[in-house]
Amino acid sequence: MSSNLDSIPKDLLTHILARVATSSLNSYFNVKLSCKMLKEVAECSNVYKCISLDEFPMDALHDMNGDVRSFINRCVECENLDALYMLGMIEYFSCNNLAKALVCLNKSASLGHVGAYYIITIILLLSGKDFKQRGVTLLSAMKSSVEYREKVKYYREKLIKFLRSAKTRNPKVLNGRPTCCTNDRHRFLETNALASVGNTDNYVFCDACTCDRELIYIFEGI
């Protein structure tokens, strides 16, 4: 195979492998194992930056062995957005290191990663005071957007899977669910609405109620 690949410019091979890495993690590893030349090209920074980690099991993030840790660290070094998002969750929820978490999450979110942006809004809601109000503004805007509504559900499920298998050390999670809405009538109506509509975003009464419902989904899910 390598003799046939020799005729293909390396830049083109890199582009092809980056497309493969974007579409499937499993396909990336299969190509990487197919021959020495493709393994070399697959190690390029531009390929690592594009690897999709959607297929990466969330529970594997907690007890990473040497090979897995090296792979994730290499992805982070290459500014892979999925890896930065995942490392941000580890730093915040498992290591209780807000500063390191925000470095990763802000970089990923600034380059368009919706999951990183979502986790930032959850961190803000858990942080209290003025931070909570900022989180309410950002998350309610995401959930009211047709473009982002389904993505919020997707990344919520990923967060729940992560937290179910995590050794959570962050006291803001261990201390229980915070409350965003301070309107007693809204909270009463919200309790009744949840009993009737279940896991949907129907019949919310204000932006803060929307965020309370999001936190309920998460805390009940774990």
Structure tokens at 197: 């509509």
Asked if 158 contacts 115 with a C-beta cutoff of 8 angstroms, the reply is yes
The string of pLDDT tens digits covering residues 43-64 is: 999 999 999 998 888 777 776 6
Asked if 62 contacts 167 with a C-beta cutoff of 8 angstroms, the reply is yes
Give the model's pLDDT for residue 173: 85
Rounded Cα–Cα distance for residues 88 and 100 (Å): 7
Q: Nearest CA to 127 among 102, 144, 154?
A: 102
Asked if 131 contacts 111 with a C-beta cutoff of 8 angstroms, the reply is no
Whole-Å CA distances, 116 to 6, 106, 112, 177: 39, 7, 8, 20
In the block, which residue shows the tokens 């990344």?
155
Rounded Cα–Cα distance for residues 39 and 116 (Å): 30
* pLDDT tens for each residue of the chain, 222 residues long: 555 777 788 889 899 999 999 999 999 999 888 888 888 899 999 999 999 998 888 777 776 677 888 899 999 999 999 999 999 999 999 889 999 999 999 999 999 999 999 999 999 999 987 899 999 999 999 998 888 989 999 999 999 989 988 778 888 888 888 888 877 666 545 555 554 555 556 556 688 888 998 998 999 888
Give the model's pLDDT for residue 105: 98
Rounded Cα–Cα distance for residues 25 and 125 (Å): 32
Neighbours of 62 (CB within 10 A): 14
Rounded Cα–Cα distance for residues 118 and 221 (Å): 17
Is 27 strand, coil or helix?
Answer: helix
Rounded Cα–Cα distance for residues 198 and 7 (Å): 59
